[in-house]
Amino acid sequence: MPRIMKLHRYIDHESQMTPIDFQVTRGCFQVYVTHKFRAAIGKTKLVRDGEKVLVGISGGPSSCALLHLIQEGLSQRAHKKLRFKPGLLFIEEGQVVGQSLEERKVTLTRIHSLLRQSGFPYHLCKLADSLDLERVKTLSACQSNHAAVNKMNQSAMDINTAAVNKMNQSAKDINTSAGNKMNQSAMDMNTCINPVEGDKGEVEKSGHGENCCDLLEMNREAEKLFAAQLGSIKSISGKEDFVRALRHRLLLEFARQHGYSKVMLGNTGSQLAVRLLTDISTGRGMQAAMETAFADRRNTDMMFLRPLRDFSSKEIAMYNNLHRLECVFIPSLTTMGDVGASIEHLTEAFVTGLQAEYPSTVSNIMRTGEKLDSSSAVDIESHCALCQGPLDTDVGMSSALAALRFSLEISTMGKSNGKRCIKGDNSVNNTNDELCSNGVNYDAKVECCGESDGSCRSSTQLSVPDEGLVLQTLCYGCRIVAMEMDDVNSLPEFVMKDVAWRNRRSVMKAEIQDFLLDDR
């Protein structure tokens, strides 16, 4: 006699996965999922009323489920409806796997219709945009279909942000079906979101729908740059890490520029368990806790939330099946690859295999992740320049990092075989983890203008910093990726800017070192 779970009387308040051998009715399952989702958001009290939250949609099953849950939660008929203002963002990543333009257009069109039906304002951008963050500012939101909005959501809680070149006009560009109060607040929001000059941005036609594929045509230089950088990373694991760091950065920047205060992602518990193990295997132990927590506070101004973290992928699949949700399949670097293609792929196979034999594996891993401390670093200088995680390289001499460095040194006896001279050239007795720099290797000595706000433009091109300096600003995991590249200086622009800024600050600090009372 199979055990029946009667949900209308008792709901499990612990954040646990569904017991596998229970049978449930459809109604109970729907209640269960909705309750868990709402509890995850409500329990932490992190999302305030009226807050703008950016929801990252990848097109996969968990994103679709998340979208649907948000829609259900926000709709009028929901019991105690949710109260935040979501905006959707899709990041097009066809370039990573080398898809052709036609294939990318097909995907983009499908996603576009999916997003449009939701009734929320949505944005489309591509991964290569992360290399050209200036441009991100000028991307505007696409108008949701006015008719669809009326159909879906009577209490149209969202605003359509106007196109850039209409910014300078008055409020008549805003078309919501809400009252005047909404118009007023929408107008205020518009004026403070896109404070850019009208001529810089691309012209987006209103009701822009069908021209979404313009996205692929724009900014070809960034795409080329991205392809070059991605190509120079040799291993697939490294590529995946790089893509992930860029994606995170793009989400962050986009949310910042467009006035969102939080980002919501649809990672499920099973995916996060794989992520935890992968992070440990790639040397990112310190960030592992952050990546699997409900609230990722890596950046103090932008919180990343993961409300689906208590669900297993089976539950999400059942939910999608129940509501007949359509997902868009987007191939990744390891799709159809063999098990040993990358570390993440291997870990996924490992966890799934283990879960089949020991059903509590994923929940054990998640529980371990919860107990780990995801303390955020205090100041911006102790963040990795690439992934924004905390820097974990300030370890003593008796540590894995020091041991590895020593091994490399002793295996090459200081002879650099070409360019890789960063590790441990005659730096045996360093007490802190300064990687060797063969003297600062600046191309041209330029005079600093003296302003210390990072706006120094004393030469048209920033002088090329030494490899050692760049690596110093990266965490252990990102260093592995960076060292696979042919030229560390070909890292994205935001990384290089950060490196240069930190270098200037350390020079400044060295000058005033004697007078600093607090050793920080």
Of the residues 398, 431, 455, 460, which one makes contact with other proteins according to CB under 8 A: 398
Check residue 403 for interaction with other proteins (CB under 8 A).
yes
Check residue 373 for interaction with other proteins (CB under 8 A).
yes
304 CB contacts (<8 Å, ≥6 apart)? Answer: 251, 262, 263, 264, 265, 295, 296, 298
Of the residues 100, 417, 455, 461, which one makes contact with other proteins according to CB under 8 A: 417
Question: What radius of gyration, in Å, describes the C-alpha atoms of the chain?
Answer: 25
> How many angstroms separate the Cα of 290 from the Cα of each of 263, 284, 295, 304, 369?
14, 10, 8, 10, 9
Point out which span in 91-99, 252-260, 319-327, 410-418 binds other proteins (CB under 8 A).
410-418
> How many angstroms separate the Cα of 262 from the Cα of each of 117, 296, 505?
23, 10, 30
162-201 footprint of other proteins as x/- string (CB under 8 A): ----------------------------------------
> To the nearest whole angstrom, how small is the minimum distance from the Cβ of residue 130 to other proteins?
25
User: Are 493 and 132 a contacting pair, CB within 8 Å?
Assistant: yes
Of the residues 192, 356, 413, 517, which one makes contact with other proteins according to CB under 8 A: 413
CA distance 125 to 256: 15
Between 98 and 337, CB nearer to other proteins: 337
Check residue 446 for interaction with other proteins (CB under 8 A).
no
Tell me the number of residues near other proteins by CB under 8 A: 54
Of the residues 275, 284, 306, 309, which one makes contact with other proteins according to CB under 8 A: 284
43's enclosing H/E stretch is: helix 26-44
91's enclosing H/E stretch is: strand 84-92
Check residue 286 for interaction with other proteins (CB under 8 A).
yes
Give the Cα-Cα-Cα angle 383, 465, 395 (nearest 5 degrees).
40
Angle of helix 361-371 relative to helix 285-292, nearest 10 degrees? Answer: 110
Identity of residue 432: N
Check residue 367 for interaction with other proteins (CB under 8 A).
yes
> To the nearest whole angstrom, how small is the minimum distance from the Cβ of residue 395 to other proteins?
7
Between 96 and 343, CB nearer to other proteins: 343
Of the residues 99, 281, 376, 382, which one makes contact with other proteins according to CB under 8 A: 281
Between 204 and 240, CB nearer to other proteins: 240
Of the residues 144, 237, 299, 388, which one makes contact with other proteins according to CB under 8 A: 237
Check residue 473 for interaction with other proteins (CB under 8 A).
no
**What DSSP letter does each residue of 117-158 carry, written as one string?**
HH-S-EEEEEGGGGG-HHHHTT--PBPPPHHHHHHH-SS---
Check residue 401 for interaction with other proteins (CB under 8 A).
yes
Between 464 and 483, CB nearer to other proteins: 483
Q: Regarding beta strands 51-57 and 3-4, do their DSSP bridges make them parallel or antiparallel, or are they unpaired?
A: unpaired
Check residue 282 for interaction with other proteins (CB under 8 A).
yes
21 CB contacts (<8 Å, ≥6 apart)? Answer: 2, 3
Q: Which two tokens stand for residue 306?
A: 């993961």
Using CB under 8 A as the binding rule, the residues of this chain from 29 to 58 that contact other proteins are none
Of the residues 23, 25, 375, 459, which one makes contact with other proteins according to CB under 8 A: 375
User: Are 359 and 18 a contacting pair, CB within 8 Å?
Assistant: no
Check residue 431 for interaction with other proteins (CB under 8 A).
no
> Three-state SS for 397?
coil
Of the residues 364, 458, 459, 506, which one makes contact with other proteins according to CB under 8 A: 364
Check residue 295 for interaction with other proteins (CB under 8 A).
no
CA distance 125 to 252: 13
Check residue 203 for interaction with other proteins (CB under 8 A).
no
H-assigned helices in 167-292: 180-193, 214-217, 220-232, 236-257, 269-281, 285-292
Check residue 408 for interaction with other proteins (CB under 8 A).
yes
178 closest CA partner among 148, 151, 158: 158
> To the nearest whole angstrom, how small is the minimum distance from the Cβ of residue 391 to other proteins?
10
368 closest CA partner among 272, 438, 455: 272
Of the residues 155, 211, 399, 452, which one makes contact with other proteins according to CB under 8 A: 399
Check residue 407 for interaction with other proteins (CB under 8 A).
yes
> To the nearest whole angstrom, how small is the minimum distance from the Cβ of residue 422 to other proteins?
14
> To the nearest whole angstrom, how small is the minimum distance from the Cβ of residue 494 to other proteins?
25
Check residue 432 for interaction with other proteins (CB under 8 A).
no
Q: Which two tokens stand for residue 376?
A: 């955020």
Chain contacts with other proteins (rule: CB under 8 A) = 235, 237, 276-277, 279-286, 288-289, 339-340, 342-343, 346-347, 350, 354, 361, 364-365, 367-368, 371-373, 375, 392, 395-404, 406-408, 410-413, 415, 417, 476-477, 480
